[in-house]
Amino acid sequence: MSRLSELEKPWQMALTLAWEAHVRGNVGVGAVLTDRRGRVVAVGRNRVCDRKAPPGRLRSTAIAHAELDILGQLVPGDYKNHTLWTTLESCALCSIAVVTSNVGRVEFAARDRLWDGISRLAELNEFIASRWPVRSGPLGGPISVFSELLPLLWFLEHKPIGTVVQKYESAHPGLLALARRLRTDAQFAGLKSHPVNEALDQLWVDLAAIDVE
Is 198 a catalytic site residue?
no
Q: Which residues contact 10 (CB under 8 A, 6 or more apart)?
A: 32, 34, 38, 40, 83, 85, 107
Phi, psi for residue 41 in degrees, rounded to 5: -100, -40
Is residue 43 within 8 Å of residue 59, measured between CB atoms? no
> Which residue of the set 67, 89, 107, 148 is catalytic?
67
Q: Euclidean distance between the first and final Cα of the chain, in Å?
A: 28
Burial of 70 (0-12, 13-18, 19+ CB in 10 A): buried
Which are the catalytic amino acids?
A: 67
